[in-house]
Structure 1
Amino acid sequence: MKRITVFCGSSFGRDEIFSSKATLLGKSLANKNIELVYGGANIGLMGAVADGILNNRGKAIGVLPYFLQSKEIAHEKLSELILVETMHERKTKMNELCDGVIALPGGFGTLEELFEMVTWAQLGLHSKPIGILNINGFYDSLIEMIQTMVDKGFLKEVNQQMLLVSDDIEELLNKMEKYVAPEVGKWITKESV
């Protein structure tokens, strides 16, 4: 993998471990010569992961809608800042630029970005690895909900397995390196497999 998109919060959260792990992820990416693609802001976990890679001689590419740039939240030390018109263009550009995705803790926006990427993978629009860095059990309830979707028949297990989960950065990156997308798509029935 040459580039990883990171989706994460524009807040730090209430536990210092979130920002320290975000910074460590940035450092780990720099050490592996993997470039960061992210939302372009200098605040919250977004700023922490960018600082982590930039402070270790790595490359960070920000993708930011014009309307957020006007709020003066753009990171000023990025390797490259790409400005787009809409939030949808932002996600599309971030997808085009990366070889994989990692979600850190965040709010509605982070979940929306994560699930759009998973949905695109489920529909066969890309075959990139999608990871969740489950810092301090942040995503435990979501992982449980996804299992409920499988148990109740709304999600196939093969699609559930598209989400790679770990609380350890190195383990997650290793899972992503070894990831092979499933060949069966969402719309294949039991009879046709």
Structure 2
Amino acid sequence: MMTQEQTVCVFCGSSFGQNPVFAQAAGELGGKLALKQWGLVYGGGSTGLMGAVASGCATKGGYVHGIIPEALISRERKEDVCAAERSTGVEDELNEKLKQSIDNHDGSTPIPDSEKYGKTTLVKDMHTRKRLMAQEASAFVALPGGYGTLEELMEVVTWQQLNIHNKPIVIFNINGFFDNFLKFIQDAIASEFVSKKNGEIIKVATTVDGVIEAIEEYEVPEGRFNLKWETT
């Protein structure tokens, strides 16, 4: 069960995606975390769903900690990005003139503004980023994204299966984005590559309130591997 002092790690895309509902829901989730007095730790970007969830939380007074490798930082702010950072709401950020298409996205992101996106920690590599995010997190939530989002999600799922942690893991299935992925899990269970019990590691929600409820009511499933990871 989560407490007010807890922090949720959100995995999501640094692009907006083609449907405005993705960024709208991300911003609403960030605002809800602030309302619950739960912190947010995320990948540190100021664009796309990353920027939406961070801004949604920080602008409502919530704790936000972005962790990003130096290689992903763009140190030159383009005029349209600066304009986006001066906007005050998610709707403004969805303006087509400010929205960067995935085809033109080079993987970098402007240095986040501390007032709008919370504090930012720069690290040397992806492994350090993921390790620090996982250490700070009390729960994990995946929003729509690409390869990186899926990789981050599956790593923490595997870690729970291996008994490395027992933190809640929730997919925010906005607009059915994860439907095919969830079918893959069911196919893996049917093919006996994943046990039915381990199939319960991931919980699914379709609304912001559903995400919060899934975290609060999360129960670690039985059947995980009984491994010991302590070192001497």
TM-score normalised by the shorter chain: which range applies? over 0.9
3-state secondary structure, aligned to 2:197: helix
Q: TM-score, normalised by structure 2?
A: 0.78
Instruction: Spell out, residue by residue over 1:154-189, the C-alpha distance to the aligned partner (whole angstroms, 9 max, x if none).
Output: 00111110101010111221121121212432379x
CA contact (8 A) 2:27 2:56 kept: yes
Q: 2:34 aligns with which of 30, 36, 58?
A: 30
Count residues in correspondence: 188
Are 1:64 and 1:74, in contact at CA under 8 Å, matched by a contact in 2?
Answer: no
Q: 1:88 aligns with which of 127, 132, 136?
A: 127
Larger Cα-atom Rg: 2
Q: Which residue of 1 aligns with 2:181?
A: 142
Over 3 Å counting, the alpha-carbon distance change for 1:154 and 1:69 in structure 2 is same
What is the percentage of aligned positions where both structures have the same residue? 41
The residue type paired with residue 118 of structure 1 is V
Paired residue for 1:13?
17
Matched, 1:160 2:199: yes
Equivalent position of 1:129 in the other structure: 168
When structure 1 is superposed on structure 2, of 165-174 and 25-34 the one drifting more is 165-174
Distance 2:127 2:214 in 1: 28
Higher RCO (Cα < 8 Å, 6 or more apart) = 2
Displacement of 1:54 in angstroms is 1.1
- For the residue of structure 1 that corresponds to 2:110, the secondary structure is coil
1:49 alignment partner AA: V
Consecutive unaligned residues in structure 1, runs of 5 or more: 189-193
Runs of 4+ with >6 A deviation = none
Deviation at 1:69, TM superposition (A): 2.3
* 8 Å contact from structure 1 (residues 27, 52) kept in 2: yes
Please tell me whether the aligned partners of residues 68 and 122 of structure 2 are also in contact (alpha carbons under 8 angstroms): yes
Asked whether 1:99 is paired with 2:138, we answer yes
Unaligned regions of 5+ residues in structure 2, if any? Answer: 75-107, 228-232
